[in-house]
């Protein structure tokens, strides 16, 4: 598969800034006023790309939300889909995920088969991503919806084996996901183990509430950090900028 411009831009960001800061917007949990404001200030606050995704589409028109965010933002906008029904043409790219940590064929391949032709028609850049749920405490939305068990948070070897399978299947990224609003984030020790075991870039998200949480994962080897619920319901320029500084370790090191 030919690497696309958005993937290459993300890799350049990782190389030049130490890691990438991905802002996750869930249109079901954030008002249009808030997510538009976040998109408008994203680039100035160090956000490298915006992910748009939700488990359900209850109160929002997902396609319209993606369009609004894209219009307001000067950074790449990627769909982080909860299902193939969330694929729309107004984004720059899509994380083409497969839930490798589970054994539910619906999220391993069935959703992907349904979504692939839509991605092609929409002319979206797909970025193949191995999606691994990590135990984070109480049942999360993605665990409930997918009907799968997460990888135990103390089992680094299991996480490493799944991440390596993602690499050998040809995926470009592996996403260690604790879940939106998770009680516990992915352990630093697991991030370090997986990052040192595979050659593809590691994304870490879920339960990262402070810039210090984000920086610790980058120092452990994460190539990208996703911040979502830690910034929901507010367009706090100062806090977003603090996350950006924490993630971009090459730019914050002083000599």
Residue at token pair 């919806």: 145
Extract the tokens encoding 173: 């990224």
Instruction: Report the domain count for the chain.
Output: 1
The Cα–Cα gap between 5 and 10 comes to: 9
Q: Are 132 and 159 in contact (CB under 8 A)?
A: yes
pLDDT in tens, 88-108: 999 999 999 999 999 999 999
For position 48, which CATH number holds?
3.20.20.390
Please compute the mean of the pLDDT values over residues 54-68 and round it to a whole number.
Answer: 83
Q: What's this model's pTM, rounded to 2 decimal places?
A: 0.95
pLDDT tens for each residue of 211-232: 999 999 999 999 999 999 878 7
Structural domain of 137:
5-252
């Amino acid at each position: 598969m030919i690497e696309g411009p958005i993937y290459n831009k993300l890799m350049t960001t990782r190389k030049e800034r130490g890691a990438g800061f991905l802002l996750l917007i869930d249109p079901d949990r954030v008002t249009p006023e808030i997510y538009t404001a976040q998109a408008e200030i994203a680039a100035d606050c160090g956000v490298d790309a915006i992910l748009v995704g939700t488990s359900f589409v209850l109160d929002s028109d997902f396609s319209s939300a993606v369009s609004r965010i894209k219009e307001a933002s000067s950074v790449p906008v990627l769909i982080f889909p909860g299902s193939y029904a969330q694929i729309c043409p107004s984004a720059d790219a899509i994380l083409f995920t497969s839930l490798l940590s589970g054994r539910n064929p619906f999220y391993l391949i069935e959703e992907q088969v349904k979504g692939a032709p839509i991605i092609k028609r929409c002319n979206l850049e797909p970025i193949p991503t191995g999606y691994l749920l990590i135990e984070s405490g109480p049942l999360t939305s993605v665990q409930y919806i997918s009907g799968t068990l997460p990888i135990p948070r103390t089992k680094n070897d299991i996480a490493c084996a799944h991440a390596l399978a993602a690499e050998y299947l040809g995926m470009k990224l592996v996403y260690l996901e604790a879940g939106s609003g998770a009680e516990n984030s992915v352990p630093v020790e697991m991030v370090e183990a997986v990052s040192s075991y595979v050659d593809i870039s590691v994304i870490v998200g879920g339960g990262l509430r402070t810039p210090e949480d984000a920086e610790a994962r980058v120092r452990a080897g994460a190539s990208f950090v996703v911040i979502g619920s830690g910034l929901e319901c507010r367009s706090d320029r100062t806090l977003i900028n603090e996350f950006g500084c924490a993630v971009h370790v090459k730019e914050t090191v002083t000599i």
